[in-house]
Amino acid sequence: MDTTIEVRVIGVVGQQGGSSIRVAEEYRAGLIGLSDFSHAMVLWAFDRARWDGKTLVMPPAYRRLDREIGTFATRTPLRPSPIAVSVSRILSVDLEEGTILLDWIDAEDRSPVIDIKPYHPSEDRIRDVAMPAWCAHWPSCREESADFDWGSEFTFS
C-alpha cells in the first residue's frame, strides 16, 4: 500500500520575535474569515527529521514508561509521513501580508506549513479522553502546559 499524494506547502513558520505563519501569496485569500476564530490547527512538516524507513518501535522516551512504544503512540518527528499538528491561539491575521501571528507553536523556524484549519469544539474537543497511566498526569489543556515541567518527563534532553 504505497500510495503517493500531492501536498503543497502553503507557507512557513516564523519564530523570530514570536510565533507566526507567513502564507504564500497565492494562498492568502484562504485566510479570509480566519480571524473570526480564536484558535487554529496548523499542519506542518518535520522537514528536518530523517526517518530510517523502517523503525516503528522505539525504546521508552518518557520516564514513566517502562516498555517500548510504537511511533503512532508518540509525537516523535521520526515517522513515515513527517506531519505534525499544533493548535495555536490566533493573535492577528494580516490578509495583505499573509501573516498570522500566534501565541506559540512548537515548530522550528522555517518549518513548512501544509494546512491551516479553524479549531472549533464541536469537532475538535473530546469530553471523555482516556490516557495511559504513564502520561495521565500531564496537563488536561494547552493553557496548563506552559507551567508543566516537560523536561522531567523525557529520557532525552
Cα(115)–Cα(93) distance, rounded to whole angstroms? 15
Q: For residue 21, what is the domain's CATH number?
A: 2.40.30.70
- Quote the CA–CA distance of 154 and 91 in Å, as a whole number: 30
- Find all residues with CB under 8 Å of 34, minimum gap 6, and list them: 40, 90, 93, 100, 116, 118
Query: What confidence tens digit (pLDDT) does each residue in 106-117 have?
Result: 999 999 999 999
Give dist(CA 61, CA 81) in Å, integer.
20
For residue 62, give the DSSP letter: B
Q: CA torsion angle for 153, 41, 102, 112 (degrees, to 10)?
A: 90
What lies within 8 Å, CB to CB, of 58 at 6+ separation is 68, 69, 70, 71, 74, 76, 78
Same-domain pairing of 91 and 121: yes
Q: DSSP label at 154?
A: B
Tens digits of per-residue pLDDT, 1-47?
778 899 999 999 999 999 999 999 999 999 999 999 999 999 999 99
- Asked if pLDDT for residue 145 goes beyond 80, the answer is yes
Model-level pTM? Answer: 0.93
Mark whether 73 and 144 lie in a shared domain.
yes
Spatial separation of the C-alpha atoms in residues 92 and 112, rounded to whole Å: 20
- Kindly state whether residues 72 and 109 are assigned to the same domain: no
Please list the residues that pair with 115 across neighbouring strands: 43
pLDDT band at 157 (very low <50, low <70, confident <90, very high): low
Statement to judge: residues 4 and 72 lie in one domain = no
Q: Mean pLDDT over all residues of the chain?
A: 95
Tell me, yes or no, whether 5 and 36 share the same domain. yes
Domain shared by 87 and 39, yes or no: yes
All three cell numbers of 134: 504513564
Same domain assignment for residues 33 and 86: yes
| Number of domains within the chain | 2
Residues 70 and 2 in one domain: no
Give residue 96's pLDDT band: very low, low, confident or very high (50, 70, 90): very high
Instruction: Tell me how far apart the alpha carbons of residues 91 and 141 are, in angstroms, rounded to a whole number.
Output: 19
What SS3 class is residue 72? helix
Are 43 and 59 contained in the same domain?
no
Same domain membership, residue 148 and residue 108: no
Q: In the chain, pLDDT over 90 holds for what percent of residues?
A: 92
Q: Judge if 11 and 73 occupy the same domain.
A: no
Domain that holds residue 37: 1-47+82-125
Q: Please report the pLDDT score of residue 92 as a whole number.
A: 98
| 1 and 27 co-located in one domain | yes
